[in-house]
Amino acid sequence: MPTLIPAPTRVEAAGNKPKLIDEYIGRVNSKTSELSVAHMRSPGGWVEPGQTPEFREFTVVLKGQLRVEHKGGTLDVHAGQAIITEPGEWVRYSTPEANGAEYIAICLPAFSMDTVHRDP
């Protein structure tokens, strides 16, 4: 039988400024460990600590620009574009433009504080 997810759960975000994360599917809202789906809204100038997650992350930018730093450089992902990051790969996300960004993040397996491995 299909499972209706009536609403997301707001989860705490890391970073230097308040960022909104609404988890629809994942360990918190649906008790799903296979994958997570979250709607993110980051303000301009937001940056989070670097991380070396154990999960694969698929991100689709809906509005604005998301900057993704990695060991080989930096990629700017604009509205209408997407990016895939691999497990074990160091990345740092930020939204340097004044209007910030809105995006959907899908993690496989689901996002977990135990497997994100953020920089100190």
pLDDT, tens digit, 9 for 90 and up, residues 24-81: 999 999 999 999 999 999 999 999 999 999 999 999 999 999 999 999 999 999 999 9
- In whole angstroms, give the CA distance from residue 120 to residue 104: 25
Determine whether 25 is exposed, middle or buried from the number of CB atoms within 10 Å of its CB (0-12, 13-18, 19+). Answer: buried
The CATH number of domain 24-116, selected from 2.30.38.10, 2.60.120.10, 3.40.50.300, 3.40.190.10: 2.60.120.10
Alpha-carbon distances of 70 from 20, 79, 84, 89, rounded to whole Å: 23, 20, 12, 8
Give the per-residue pLDDT at 17: 96
| Strand blocks (E) in 1-120 | 9-11, 20-25, 36-42, 46-47, 56-70, 73-78, 82-85, 91-95, 101-108
Give the per-residue pLDDT at 41: 98
